[in-house]
Structures are given as C-alpha cells and as structure tokens.
Amino acid sequence: MSVSYQELGFVNTREMFTKAFAGGYAVPAYNFNNMEQLQAIINGCGRSNSPVILQISSGARKYADQTLLRYLAEGAVAMARKAGYQNPIALHLDHGNSLELCISCIESGFSSVMIDGSHLPYEENVALTRKVVEYAHGFDVTVEGELGVLSGIEDDVIAARSIYTDPDLVEDFVKRTGVDSLAISIGTSHGAYKFKPAQCSRNEKGILVPPPLRFDILTEIEQRIPGFAIVLHGSSSVLPEYVEIINRYGGKLEAAVGIPAEQLRQAAKSAVCKINIDSDGRLVMTAMIRKIFAEQPQEFDPRKYLGPAREELTKMIMEKNETVLGSAGRG
C-alpha cells in the first residue's frame, strides 16, 4: 500500500534549499542504517535546531529491510515532535540507480529521491533522470540528479577515479531533466579512504592533507545555473580523533583522510545547499564501540555499547551543524 510523505510528516527539499541558499549554509544529509544512528541524527539536529535530510541508500534498504527502515523514519518524526523539535525533516533516497527503485521509495513515503545516472553516457543520464523527475513531480517529490563521478567506495557506489563535473553541461542537464538539485564532482570522494597518500601532502604535524577542492569548477557552475541548489557527496572529514581511537583499540585505518572542515564551510556559503555525511557517522560509532569493548571486555549488553556510541554521534552531529554546515539555528 502506497503512502505519501505528507502523511508521514516529512517535507520535500525545495523550501529547505531556498532558505539554505539565501542564508549561506548547507542542509546536512546524514545516512543511517539502524535505530541508534537515526536517533542520534534526530536528537543532534533537533537540539541544534537544524533542518535535516535523513538519507537511506539502496544498500541500507537491503541491510535493514525497506519496510522496517520506512517505519523507523516515520517513528523518528514522531519522536522529534514529541521532544518538541520543530525542525523540518526530509526522507531521501541516496544514489538511486533505477526508475523502479525511485518509484518504490516514493510510494513508501520518501519526500526526495536521487537518481544517479552519472555512470551512464550523457544522453542516457538525461533520459533516465527526466523519467524520474516526471514521475516524482506528480507526487510533489523533489529529485536530485548527478553530473560527474566521485571516486571511492560506499555501499553500492564504487568508482576507481573521479571525473570532475563539466560546467559546459550543467545548464543543458538542468533544463532538460527538470531536476530540483544537482550533485557535482569537485574533488570530494566516497568512503574513509578518499585519497591515496601520493595525492596528499603533510602538514607540520605530519598529518596527511588532501588536495583542495576545485572551487574554480564550483564557481563556474554557479555562474552557469545561478541560484540553483548544488549538492556535495562524499563530504565526511574522516575525523582524525575517531580514526585515532579506532586504531588505538585494534583497528587498522591507515592513511584514512577526508575533506577539511574549513573547505566544507566555504562550500556551504556558496550554492552548495546540501552536504552528505556518512563515513564520519560510521567512524564515530565504531570508535566508541571499540573503546568500550577494550576497556570493558565483560560487557555483552548491546545497550551498553550502542548507547554511548549513539550519544557520541549526537555530539558530532551538533558540532557539524554548528561549525561546518552552518545549519544550526536554521530550523
């Protein structure tokens, strides 16, 4: 049985992005796979009064069951309102790869979907994206398309190398597809291993520093489609403090490096209205769980290690919203 996102208490991303563009901030889009991650996102964004996009990837739907995830998300809205949070919440399909998947999500109450045809030849990407837009807009669901390819591995998204977005194509793509937002490639990358060590330099503390984002490409895209909402995927900072905790307690995250926070803040002040964060959430939870397992080896109650991991993730989200995305207080 199909259900509309309005019935579930979600909003689409149209007004979110209009306000973000005018206010010089980006709406956080946090991925979740289980209850604890979702609780942390709702509490972190509620406490910081930030709009939020709950993201579900196709991989998450396979892992947790699509029906269960939908009901979790629906319950999260009720949880937020009971706690007194009035910030807008969208439910978004991350990296949808087919019209059928997008339709399934729309019928399940998603308020926004992404159709990622970036791996296809340009004309095929345009045609597929247009089909999704035509269907989604009939239900007032917003659609995100993508031009350019991000390298890295995250869930079902795998690419060996980045292909920067060609500014010469963006105006044609937006006009012919009718998308509401556009994910671009300017140097971000999926996963915790976003860059090879050979691509990086080292600062005075010996920490790997990735190559800077291509703000020149972003600027040109802004000029080609002024006022249009831009999205950055693969934007976790791979927070060094949590990488260190993971490695200290038996992990092996060598040469893990992410996008510097100051570069993301710069992007958020531009036409970038949505920034995706997934790996940082995984790292925070893994770090806390490893720490508890090492320091309390007798512990076996999942609540005793998932609970602290959830709280740490909540803190990280509040910090991101305040200092990186600029979305705190914008709900």
Could you name the CATH architecture of 7-325? Alpha-Beta Barrel (3.20)
Residue tagged active-site, from 65, 94, 116, 156: 94
CA dihedral sign of residues 287, 290, 295, 301: positive
pLDDT value at position 153?
A: 46
CA dihedral sign of residues 209, 163, 141, 100: negative
pLDDT value at position 271?
A: 95
Each residue's pLDDT tens digit in the chain (331 positions)?
A: 789 999 999 999 999 999 999 999 999 999 999 999 999 999 999 999 999 999 999 888 888 888 888 889 999 999 999 999 999 999 999 999 999 999 999 999 999 999 999 889 999 999 999 999 999 999 999 999 999 866 544 555 444 346 889 999 999 999 999 999 999 999 876 665 555 666 666 776 666 667 788 999 999 999 999 999 999 998 888 898 999 999 999 999 887 778 889 999 999 999 999 999 999 999 999 999 999 999 999 999 999 999 999 999 999 999 999 999 999 999 9
What are the residue ranges spanned by the domains of the chain? 7-325
94 is catalytic: yes
210: DSSP letter: P
pLDDT value at position 155?
A: 52
The 3-state DSSP class for residue 170 equals: helix
CA 167 from chain centre, in angstroms, equals 23
